[in-house]
Every structure is written in structure tokens, then in C-alpha cells.
Amino acid sequence: MNITRENIDELNAVVKVDIAKEDYAGKVEKILKDYRKNANIPGFRKGHVPMGMVKKQYGQAVLVDEVNKLLQDSLNKYLTEEKLDVLGNPLPKEQENFDWNEDAYTFEFELGLAPEFDVNLELEKPVTHYNIVADEKMVNNQIESIRKQYGKLISKDEAEEGDIVAGTFKNEEEGIEKETSVELEKLKGKRNLNKFVGAKVGDTFSVKTKNLFEDDHELIQHLGVDHDKAQELDIEVEFTVSEINHRELAELNQELFDKLFGEGKVTSEDELKEKIKEDAAKQFKQQSDQQLMNDVTKQLIEQTKFELPKEFLQKWIQTVGEKPMTEEEAKEEYEKSEEGLRYQLIEGKIVNENKLTVEFEDLKTFAKEKIKEQMAQFGQMNPEDKELDDIAARILSNQDEVKRMSEQLMNEKLLGFYKEKMSFEEKEVTYDEFVKEIYE
């Protein structure tokens, strides 16, 4: 066997594999002999079928299978030994007049080669690292939400502002008949509010869906319609009252604090506010870090210039899916995935050059931390190490989970590396300010 490579340019090459008869003949002969031993052909005793008949019936199929195995093994070995950094997979070139009846075969494969480039960790444009804090408005809203959640409902005969009115929305033509509970404070405008205020159990009245709620998305929940329909819906619906309740807010006392955070962990309203701020800061940190990662990724892609074997990759994309793509479909797919591929190459170079690795012990520790976070959500604040080890072992026995968590951990290591090596503009913002800057 002989393997040679011709470099077309810095990003494309063709590998030629010559396979001679002596490379495969012994293996093919052995397999055919095994077939002969076990073949059941009418008119012949088992193991006494003429070899000529076995070769005629199975010979070419065995030959093709063994040559293909030999071809793939030798090609993979060659790419490894030559340390070729290829993109996608080798693509076989079409060959005219190929004949399996010959003794020797030549195969050619196109290769797309990864480009050579350097990564500059000094960002050319400023990137902001947001420190998102909970403002007074958010803290107060959270306290009110807690008081509502742990409060109690008191049944009433007649609805007043601030009450919760249960009933059924109905419109036969549109096929709407939905039982729901309406918080009157979420209604939009006095006209709508006045339809509900003063209503009693058993009353039926009509309202218009357009501008019924402060947020049109409430129609999805209360009328049982889909998102697209809710946006355009402008009809009259009947509402029949079945129940009226007033929500009495829970008192901010030690009983509530203990129920929320465990006995004695919080002992005053001021401590409650600080605890809410701490918990919010943890959630906000994840969003802030994700945004930082997105911005750094975008910046690295913009400032790290290199060419890709575009034509090869579009051709490769045509072949990799379950269903072959047209040239136009592959071109579209390439354009959608090009930035992701560029960042994969940039990230891979950063990881390799800076020896960022995920060891099993790192993964085990990471898994245990995630398990502790989940258990804390259900009130299990101090699980034993053995319990954590057992759960982590079960999770890490699943290869899909190992892959997912390894990617998460590597992402965290990369983020830590960026924070250490790069300079960012620090900016403290409220959550509303963060949303406005990022999404508006």
C-alpha cells in the first residue's frame, strides 16, 4: 500500500491511496474459507461447497467490504501520523472507469485543512462586563410576590379592585371556552376594570379582547389561544363569574422567614431584603457572564482573520446529513454555521496553547456542586458527601451527561481565562438597565 499527498494550496489537499492485491488478498481468502465452512447450499454437504461457487456468490461483496475497511483504517492512520488538522471528513473523489475486477485499486480523497493563525487576546474594541444589581423596586416587587404566594385567599360575594375573579371566558364562533382566574390589577383601563368591579357570583357580562390586559400575552393564558392569534384578536367574549376572592398578603414575620430560608437564617425585613439581593446577584451573575462570553466570542471572531476552505466545506455539508443537500442548500447552511466554525477553531487554539483541560476529578467536583445547588432548591441544605458521591457517580456513568457537563465546565474555564487575561469595562447596572442595553 502507498499513500501520497498533493497540497493544492494552504487549505486544500488531495490524498491518493494505492492498494495492491497483497494488501487484501489474505484477509479475503480467509473470510471466504470461513464462509465455505458454514455455507448451507442445496446439493452440498456443509463445509464441502466448491470454493469456486463460494467465490462466485460472495467473492466481490467480501472484497469490497475488506478493501473499504483497509482504506478507512489506513487513511485514518495516515492523518494521525502526519498530524494533519482537517476540517470535516475526507471526501472521496469520483473516479471514471473504476473496476472491482482489477487486482490493484487507487482511491483519491479531497481534504480541507485547518488554517494557520494567531489569536490576539488584547481586544481591539472595548467589551463591557456588567455587574447587575437588584434595585429597590425589584426587591420590593419580590417581597410582594412572596407575600402573595404565602398569603391566603378569602372568599367574597362582590368583586372589588385588587380581587381575583374566577370564571369562564366564552365565544362560540372562535371556539373559546376557558376557565381561568383574573387578577383585576392586571386589567387595562377603567372601562375594563368597571366591568368586573361590582360583579357577583353567577353574573355574566361581555368584554372586548383588544386592550383587555396590560400585557396582551395574558390572552394566551386566559383565553387558551396561541401566541399569533392573541396578538391580532379583537372580539367580544362573555365572562361568567364562578368565584371571587381577596388575597390577604402574608405577614413579614419570623414564621415566614423560617419557612423561606430555614430556622433563624433571616430574622428581620432588612435581612430579608439583603437575602433577596444576594440570591438575585447569583442569578444575575450567570446572565452577566453569559453576555460577557457572547461579547468576547463576537470580538475574537471579528478580529481573528483567517481563510477557510469554503468550497470544500460546502461540498462536505452536502454529504453529512441524513438527507443529501443541494449546492444552494449547502451554501446557505455554510453561511449560517461559518461564525460557529470560526469560533470552534479559535477556541480550540486557545485551549491547546494554554493547556486548558477538564480532568475527571474536576468533572466530579463540578457535578457535585450542581447537585448541591439543585438539592438546596428543595430545602436539602447540607447533604452528606456519600450521598453526593453516589449521585455524581450515577450521572457520570452516562456518556451524554459527561459530554454535556464537560462542555459546561470547559466553558467556565474559558470564561475564567478570559477574565484573567483580558481587560473589560466594568459597569454596574440594574436588571432593567441591563435588558435595555442588551436587547433594545
Total structural domains within the chain: 3
* 316 and 228 housed in the same domain: no
> What CA–CA distances, in Å, run from 111 to 85, 93, 114, 329, 411?
10, 10, 10, 21, 30
Instruction: Report the CATH number at residue 375.
Output: 1.10.3120
Statement: the pTM of the whole predicted model exceeds 0.85: no
* 353 and 214 housed in the same domain: no
- 73 in any annotated domain: yes
Residue numbers of the domain that contains 40: 2-113
Helix 360-377 and helix 385-396: axis angle, to 10°? 120
- 290 in any annotated domain: yes
- 185 in any annotated domain: yes
Instruction: Report the CATH number at residue 172.
Output: 3.10.50.30
* 433 and 293 housed in the same domain: yes
- 141 in any annotated domain: no
Distance CA 87, CA 81 (A): 16
3-state helix, strand, coil in the chain (%, to 5): 50, 20, 30
- 121 in any annotated domain: no
* 73 and 170 housed in the same domain: no
pLDDT of residue 82: 94
- Amino acid, res. 36: R
* 17 and 72 housed in the same domain: yes
* 239 and 308 housed in the same domain: no
* 301 and 433 housed in the same domain: yes
Helices (H) and strands (E) in the chain, counts: 14, 11
The residue from 248, 265, 290 where one domain ends is 248
- 26 in any annotated domain: yes
The residue from 83, 98, 113 where one domain ends is 113
pLDDT of residue 43: 73
CA 170 to the chain's CA centroid: 39
Largest CA distance in the chain: 99
- 137 in any annotated domain: no
pLDDT of residue 324: 86
* 80 and 174 housed in the same domain: no
* 211 and 308 housed in the same domain: no
* 286 and 233 housed in the same domain: no
Distance CA 22, CA 270 (A): 85
Sign of CA dihedral 145, 150, 151, 156: positive
The residue from 57, 87, 113 where one domain ends is 113
- 168 in any annotated domain: yes
Q: What's the start-to-end Cα distance of the chain, in Å? A: 62
Q: What is the pLDDT along the chain (440 residues), one digit of tens a residue?
A: 999 999 999 999 999 999 999 999 999 999 988 888 877 777 777 777 888 888 888 899 999 999 999 999 999 999 999 999 999 999 999 888 899 989 999 999 999 999 999 999 999 999 999 999 999 999 999 999 999 989 999 999 999 999 999 999 999 999 999 999 999 999 999 999 999 999 999 999 999 999 999 887 899 999 998 888 888 889 999 999 999 999 999 999 999 999 888 889 899 999 999 999 998 998 899 999 999 999 999 999 999 999 999 999 999 999 888 888 999 999 999 999 999 999 999 999 999 999 999 999 999 999 998 898 888 777 676 788 888 889 999 999 999 999 999 999 999 999 999 999 999 999 999 999 999 999 87
Instruction: Report the CATH number at residue 51.
Output: 3.30.70.1050
Q: Which of 260-298 are b and which e, b meaning 16 or more Cβ less than 10 Å from the residue's Cβ?
A: ebeeeebeeeeebbebbbeebeeebeeebbebbeebbbe
* 362 and 315 housed in the same domain: yes
Distance CA 175, CA 159 (A): 27
* 225 and 333 housed in the same domain: no
CA 299 to the chain's CA centroid: 22
